[in-house]
Amino acid sequence: MKKRLGNLEIGDQSETAAFVDAPQLFVLARSELADSAKDLYSYFGAAEQSLRPSPHSAESVVEAAGRTCYLSFANSSGRSTTDYIENLVRQGHESVLEHVSWTFVLTGVSRAFTHQMVRHRVGFAYSQLSQQYVDHRSIRFVIPSELLMNPDLLPSWKGAVLAQRQTYVDLVESLNSAQSNLGSRERVRSMRSAARSVLPNCVEAVIAVTGNARSWRHFLEVRGSTEGDIEMRRVCALLLSTLKQEAPSIFFDFAQQSFGDGWPIVKKIAS
């Protein structure tokens, strides 16, 4: 059921639509080898068959970029793309991995989570749902994983966050009726800025994040095994599962395991 307040539309505010209990990941973009890459190989005298497009497009880009260092496009050793990339990782030559990147959109994550994520600056770019430009009167709340393990605590938690959302709604409606010298655009920004001050850290965020392969590896290594941050671990497990499908050779030395609390944990394993 939707209603309008002035020129603003409010979505479903029912309790059943108010909560989300799991993150979701959408692949928005990835690095791919261009058709003209064969011209580069030909320029340096390598046979066309030396360029072996991998079913994992990012891996082909990494190999081609790495072979530029020694002009080894002919691949006289016959090494596979998988062997080539895994050797780069084992040797610590991860700068070559910076040539490929992925853009993901995450939903079902909390504002508390994104506060942690955006602290990773090198090799990343972010675009996040704005609390000033998006009406939060029908926003969802991310249920902490710890409460999913202790469902008897959920009723009081749900009551608390729904009360905070109602306060947000009341503030927006009151401020919308108050006198203001601001134009319509800045008036909306002003009232939402004031009202959002009562929203909790568990409010759902939507964030687009681009990161190169080296940065994603670092993120998984330092965040994926943070035992006391279950939401972070769950997102890292989702990221790793996706990245292993996209480029298994780049992330071969990471594994998802089950931790004692039943939630996943991401570990870097010996290579």
Active-site residue numbers?
Answer: 223
Sheet with 124-128: strands ordered across: 24-30, 101-110, 204-212, 124-128
Task: Confirm if 159 and 147 have CB atoms less than 8 A apart.
Answer: no
Please give the Cα distance from 87 to 77 (Å, whole number).
13
Nearest in space to 63 (alpha carbons), one of 26, 102, 90, 100:
100
Residues 139, 23: Cα–Cα separation, whole Å: 15
Q: What is the DSSP string of 218-242?
A: HHHHHHTT-TT-HHHHHHHHHHHHH
Backbone angles phi, psi at 110, to 5 degrees: -85, 160
Rounded distance, CA 115 to CA 113, Å?
Answer: 5
Determine contact, residues 20/143, Cβ cutoff 8 Å. yes
Reported in sequence order, the residue ranges of the chain that DSSP labels E, i.e. its strands, are 3-5, 8-10, 19-20, 24-30, 101-110, 124-128, 141-142, 204-212, 254-258, 264-268
d(CA 111, CA 50) in angstroms, rounded, equals 47
Placement of tokens 């082909």 in the chain: 60
- What is the length of the chain? 271
What 3-state DSSP class applies to 194? helix
